[in-house]
């Protein structure tokens, strides 16, 4: 009944409670096993003492299963496999088969402990990540001294000091160059060189010299906290087949409870078996018909896949996301920051000196890579004469407006006066930003971006699997064509507005395609939400990440292909588990009908099938 025993990772306190509970379960199993052995030893020598030990063993071995069966059946009105096992054991006691009842509960309790252990293995990747995040940080004070404070007390803008060899306690910006090992977060073993202004993540290891960091996120907003939150959400969002099994189990258990009395009656009245023999066979049926392996076919495997994704730097928000990803046959991808690095450089520009400070200040309010490139290029411009709180408005996919000054893509200035022809003289293969004052174009900037080499390989890999890749970009035709040729996508659309991307997604879905959308900006969020699978880049906007089913911790398209292959493997394992578990139930029921199966053997085969199903799911962690 693992689907009702889903693990969670919200805090170390909850992990401690889970540990205490599993420890008590194991202790009861050990006590019950000792009492069972004593009961079996004394059963034929000192009968009363043997019975006493066996009944005590039944109490310890069946305590937690009975508690769970009563709670789920009465409080939640959801009869489950625990109820079937407890009733089978009670039935064996009624007909004075104490040793059979004890052995049944011993094997069932042992299987439960083993199931809990192997399922915990599927979540160990997340747990190990949590344990690597320091709980304290060295806060750098105004006098240059450091003060050790809890990470939860840090605020955005605080400066902290991280010594060489120490782990970074919170997401921050590097204030001096260093080297960071991000293997715990992304799975990449090669350390990453961090320059001034580069982002570093909580839980990663500082392998360079001591580094000063400026906090950019509070402790509940870091990549690690997002992993924990998203995995929690994933556990509550099973795949379609997992949800179907959840609903099926309740009715199946009720069906078994109704079938067993009819089976006993048929054996007694039609085959002429004694009531005790018929009742015994009924208890065997109650045991082997229990759907333990069936309900364990999906959840442990899905948790393993989610954990595997987290280990390679992809946050997966549920089984349904993986199920849908496996069916994807068309991927729409944004360009900037997805197929390209998003590290633009200003190649040439014409901006009037009187509005240059205002343009730079406007760009400071945006997180778009183009805006960051402009701010970096004009880092020496004096902004001290500008008001502290500028009213900058962002038009999604178009640009920025502050008063009568507007900065944005050329398409937004089609109706503006352009005496110098800035909006018409676009440089081939470059991204152009237009500057206007009032209704007149007064300047421009030309920028260029570079393709990520792993993007071209990932596009090729997807195409080999029969998945079409189309690039959607708000950039101009010349830039889009240059990037499309370098990456070798199947097709591209240039000058896309947010509504254009949504229309492309919906048009493809109406044609029967299963669509994935990859993006990182606010303008991508609507398309991400409309796609069958939305995939956000981790360096993108918060709204894009909230709209997506998958989040790439780092902007690496190749990681998506790994998860795509993982989703296919998950589907194969789930169907293997389902066919195997149903096959075992059918075989054991048939053997019981033919009178070739006793209770002990039935329990052994039944519980071993459950363990094998879970172990099969754990293969995804390799």
Q: Which residues are catalytic?
A: 334
Say if CB 63 and CB 105 are below 8 A apart: no
- The residues, ordered by sequence, that sit 6+ positions from 144 with a Cβ below 8 Å of its Cβ are none
Residue 417 phi/psi, 5° resolution? -75, 140
CA distances from 449 to 183, 341, 435, 535 (A): 27, 7, 20, 22
Say if CB 198 and CB 174 are below 8 A apart: yes
Alpha carbon 446 to chain centroid, angstroms? 39
Q: What is the residue-wise DSSP string for 267-309?
A: HHHTS---HHHHHHHHHHHHHHT--HHHHTTTHHHHHHHHHHH
Q: Under DSSP, is residue 144 helix (H, G, I), strand (E, B) or coil?
A: coil
How many whole angstroms separate alpha carbon 404 and alpha carbon 155?
35
- The residues, ordered by sequence, that sit 6+ positions from 141 with a Cβ below 8 Å of its Cβ are 147
Alpha carbon 83 to chain centroid, angstroms? 32
Lookup result for tokens 């029969």: 466
Strand partners, 213: 160, 174
Q: Under DSSP, is residue 155 helix (H, G, I), strand (E, B) or coil?
A: coil
Q: Which of 378, 389, 376 has the alpha carbon at shortest distance from 355?
A: 378
CA distances from 174 to 178, 191, 216, 232 (A): 8, 15, 10, 30
CA distances from 85 to 25, 63, 611 (A): 17, 12, 16
- The residues, ordered by sequence, that sit 6+ positions from 515 with a Cβ below 8 Å of its Cβ are 328, 330, 331, 332, 505, 508, 509, 531, 532, 533
Please report the beta strands in 290-430, taking only residues with DSSP state E, as ranges in sequence order: 314-316, 330-333, 345-350, 393-395, 399-402, 405-408
Alpha carbon 50 to chain centroid, angstroms? 51
């Amino acid at each position: 009944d693992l689907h009702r025993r889903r693990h969670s990772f919200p805090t170390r306190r909850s992990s401690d409670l889970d540990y205490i509970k599993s420890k008590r379960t194991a202790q009861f199993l050990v006590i019950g096993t000792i009492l069972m052995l004593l009961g079996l030893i004394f059963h034929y020598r000192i009968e009363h003492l043997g019975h006493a030990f066996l009944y005590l063993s039944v109490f310890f071995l069946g305590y937690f299963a009975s508690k769970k069966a009563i709670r789920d059946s009465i409080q939640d009105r959801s009869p489950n496999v625990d109820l079937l096992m407890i009733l089978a054991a009670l039935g064996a006691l009624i007909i004075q088969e104490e040793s059979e009842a004890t052995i049944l509960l011993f094997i069932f309790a042992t299987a439960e402990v083993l199931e809990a252990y192997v399922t915990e293995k599927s979540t160990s990747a997340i747990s190990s990540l949590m344990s690597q995040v320091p709980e304290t940080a060295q806060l750098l004070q105004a006098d240059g001294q450091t003060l050790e404070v809890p990470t939860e007390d840090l605020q955005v803008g605080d400066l902290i000091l991280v010594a060489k060899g120490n782990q970074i306690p919170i997401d921050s910006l590097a204030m001096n160059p260093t080297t960071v090992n991000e293997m715990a977060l992304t799975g990449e073993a090669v350390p990453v060189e961090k320059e001034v202004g580069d982002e570093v993540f909580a839980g990663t290891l500082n392998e360079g010299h001591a580094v000063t960091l400026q906090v950019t996120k509070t402790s509940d907003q870091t990549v690690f906290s997002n992993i924990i939150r998203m995995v929690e959400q994933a556990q509550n969002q099973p795949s379609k087949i997992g949800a179907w099994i959840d609903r099926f189990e309740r009715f199946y258990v009720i069906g078994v409870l109704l079938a067993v009395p009819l089976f006993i009656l048929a054996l007694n009245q039609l085959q002429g078996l004694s009531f005790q023999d018929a009742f015994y066979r009924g208890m065997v049926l109650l045991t082997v018909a229990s759907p333990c392996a069936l309900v364990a076919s999906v959840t442990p495997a899905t948790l393993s896949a989610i954990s595997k994704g987290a280990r390679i730097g992809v946050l997966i928000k549920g089984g349904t996301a993986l199920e849908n990803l496996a069916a994807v046959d068309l991927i729409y991808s944004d360009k900037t920051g997805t197929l390209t690095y998003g590290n633009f450089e200003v190649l040439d520009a014409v901006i009037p000196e009187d509005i240059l400070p205002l343009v730079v200040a406007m760009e400071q309010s945006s997180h778009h890579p183009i805006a960051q490139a402009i701010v970096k290029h004009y880092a020496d411009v004096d902004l001290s004469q500008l008001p502290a709180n500028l009213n900058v408005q962002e038009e999604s996919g178009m640009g920025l407006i502050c008063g009568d000054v507007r900065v944005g893509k050329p398409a937004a200035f089609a109706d503006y006066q352009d005496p110098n022809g800035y909006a018409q003289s676009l440089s081939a293969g470059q991204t152009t930003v237009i500057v206007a004052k009032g209704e007149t174009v007064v300047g421009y900037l030309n920028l260029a971006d570079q393709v990520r080499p792993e993007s071209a390989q990932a596009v090729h890999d997807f195409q080999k699997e029969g998945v079409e890749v189309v690039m959607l970009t708000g950039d101009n035709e010349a830039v889009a064509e240059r990037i499309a040729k370098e990456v070798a996508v199947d097709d591209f659309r240039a000058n896309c507005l947010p509504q254009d991307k949504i229309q492309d997604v919906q048009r493809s879905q109406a044609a029967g395609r299963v669509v994935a959308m990859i993006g990182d900006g606010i303008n991508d969020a609507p398309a991400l939400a409309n796609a069958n699978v939305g995939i956000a880049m981790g360096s993108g906007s918060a709204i894009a990440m909230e709209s997506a089913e998958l989040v790439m911790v780092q902007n690496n398209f190749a990681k998506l292909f790994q998860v795509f292959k993982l989703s296919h493997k998950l589907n194969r394992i789930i169907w293997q588990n389902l066919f195997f578990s149903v096959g075992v139930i059918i075989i054991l029921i048939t053997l019981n009908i033919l009178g070739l199966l006793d209770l002990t053997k039935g329990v052994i085969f039944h519980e071993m099938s459950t363990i094998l199903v879970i172990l099969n799911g754990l293969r995804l962690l390799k």
